[in-house]
Structure 1
């Protein structure tokens, strides 16, 4: 028995997912900034890498998800 979802339920689920992805990216970037600022005893390069990954999660990945969802709708 598979449940069919209304368009409103799908939109809410996608909005939640986008919010979680963006929030996770911000958290990763903040941890990277703390490492890069020597607040956490880890290598400096790791902090910079985490900042880049966090920025990707905030700026690029949500757009990729939206494009994928638009392709599925066709």
Structure 2
């Protein structure tokens, strides 16, 4: 098993990368909806919703799963 500091660092990195990916996906969706990209508007909406969820909800779920159990 990995040492606790390494595990904590890796989990933090996973949370940060999840938020970064969600932000990038949401920006892609916004660009698609504004007509800056040649993709259908439906794809823009899907990307926007998925990006917002990945930015706001998924890291909370990950942190809850990794929380240290109480006593």
Q: Please give the TM-score of this superposition, normalised by the length of structure 1.
A: 0.86
Q: Which runs of 5+ in 1 are unaligned?
A: none
Runs (4 or more) in structure 1 with deviation over 3 Å come to none
Q: C-alpha root-mean-square deviation of aligned residues, in Å?
A: 1.0
Q: Which runs of 5+ in 2 are unaligned?
A: none
Post-superposition CA distance 1:16-59 (Å, at most 9, x none)? 00011000001101111110000111111211111110000000
Counting matched residue pairs gives 69
Q: Please give the TM-score of this superposition, normalised by the length of structure 2.
A: 0.89
Which structure has more relative contact order (CA 8 Å, sep 6+)? It is 2
